[in-house]
Amino acid sequence: MRIMISADMEGATGVTWTADVETNSPQWERFRPMFTGDVNACVAGLFAGGATDVLVNEAHSAQRNILLERLDPRARLLTGRHKPLSMMQGIDSGVDGVVFLGYHAAAGLDGVLSHTYLPNQITGVWLDGTRASEGRLNAALAAEYGVPVLLVTGDDLTCADAAGYAPSASAVAVKQCVSRYAAICKPPSVTATEIEEAAREAMALAGATTAPAPAAHRIEIEFDAAHLAAAAAVVPTVEQVDVRRVGFDAASMTAAMKAFKVVTAIASGAVEGSYG
Ligand SMILES: [Zn+2]
């Protein structure tokens, strides 16, 4: 039983503020062990539920957040950035289930540190006409490989979002959103127990199904400034559909996510100082 954990940081235990997840800040250093603790609780539950191999893929920012020296020795860690499938690197049709750990709500919506890939410059993403969080995009990618989403952890709004794109998956709310930068948080000793138990139970869903034939998908992305849409529209296949909005069609979800990665890279490179 091969399981993959896609581990983001905004939805980790205790995290509520930008500095909590910004590389090299003292707050980030404080939250790295707590984030690693969430991962370890999940790994423990997955093995207790029958997993035989767990790959943890770092999915936040520079993708060097988890403390390898504290990782459960049964797990393997994919750390570092510049991976073709980014948050979902490691997914293939032999994976029996995926966990979205430390996830968060979509750009443009309420939720602790809500965003979709870029911190503020993207104000909304739509997958085939439905507003999409990172979780919804990544679940669609997993589905293309026949891989079920077993468990999602994050704030309560992340769990509500997961109910929409992965209704069979378990969910653990490690905090209750009060605002984009405030939450009522459970301590790590409590969330560890909840995550471990949910991961163990969620293993009942594990087991790859036959991957369906790749289907065409459309992604539209809205930015907070016109020049970002114009910059992204330089990419072949990407069209500007409104002043701040681009869209593209792709033959598969894998191709769509690679194109999405290009669009976000170009747009973030075009951000200008305080005017965005
Ligand atoms: Zn994220």
Query: How many angstroms separate the alpha carbon of residue 119 from the centre of ligand 1?
Result: 9
Query: How many angstroms separate the alpha carbon of residue 273 from the centre of ligand 1?
Result: 22
Q: Is the full-model pTM beyond 0.85?
A: yes
Query: How many angstroms separate the alpha carbon of residue 153 from the centre of ligand 1?
Result: 12
C-alpha–C-alpha distance, residues 81 and 87, integer Å = 9
Query: How many angstroms separate the alpha carbon of residue 254 from the centre of ligand 1?
Result: 18
Q: Report phi then psi at 219, rounded to 5.
A: -120, 135
Query: How many angstroms separate the alpha carbon of residue 52 from the centre of ligand 1?
Result: 27
C-alpha–C-alpha distance, residues 88 and 38, integer Å = 18
Per-residue pLDDT band for 273 (boundaries 50, 70, 90) equals confident
C-alpha–C-alpha distance, residues 149 and 99, integer Å = 6
Amino acid, res. 147: V
Per-residue pLDDT band for 221 (boundaries 50, 70, 90) equals very high
C-alpha–C-alpha distance, residues 179 and 39, integer Å = 25
- Which string of b and e fits 251-266 if b means at least 16 CB within 10 Å? eebbbbbebbbebbeb
Strands 170-179 and 149-155: parallel
In whole angstroms, what separates CA 112 from the centre of its chain? 14
Query: How many angstroms separate the alpha carbon of residue 114 from the centre of ligand 1?
Result: 8
Query: How many angstroms separate the alpha carbon of residue 134 from the centre of ligand 1?
Result: 6
Give 134-191 pLDDT, tens digit per residue: 999 999 999 999 999 999 999 999 999 999 999 999 999 999 999 999 999 999 999 9
First to last CA, the chain: 45
- Residue ranges with CB less than 5 Å from ion ligand 1: 8, 134
Which structure tokens are listed for 217?
């998908």
Query: How many angstroms separate the alpha carbon of residue 64 from the centre of ligand 1?
Result: 14
Query: How many angstroms separate the alpha carbon of residue 202 from the centre of ligand 1?
Result: 22
Query: How many angstroms separate the alpha carbon of residue 116 from the centre of ligand 1?
Result: 6
C-alpha–C-alpha distance, residues 212 and 209, integer Å = 9
Query: How many angstroms separate the alpha carbon of residue 257 from the centre of ligand 1?
Result: 14
Per-residue pLDDT band for 209 (boundaries 50, 70, 90) equals confident
Ranges 71-75, 116-120, 200-204: which has the least confidence: 116-120
Mean pLDDT computed over 87-108: 97
Give 1-55 pLDDT, tens digit per residue: 999 999 999 999 999 999 999 999 999 999 999 999 999 999 999 999 999 999 9
E-strand ranges in 16-169 read 53-58, 75-78, 97-101, 122-127, 130-131, 149-155
Residue 247 CB partners (closer than 8 Å, separation 6+):
218, 219, 220, 221, 238, 239, 241
Q: CA 125, 39, 59, 147: dihedral to nearest 10 degrees?
A: -70
Which structure tokens are listed for 168?
């069979």
Query: How many angstroms separate the alpha carbon of residue 2 from the centre of ligand 1?
Result: 23
**Nearest CA-CA partner of 36 in 59, 20, 13, 17:** 13
Give 33-44 pLDDT, tens digit per residue: 999 999 999 999
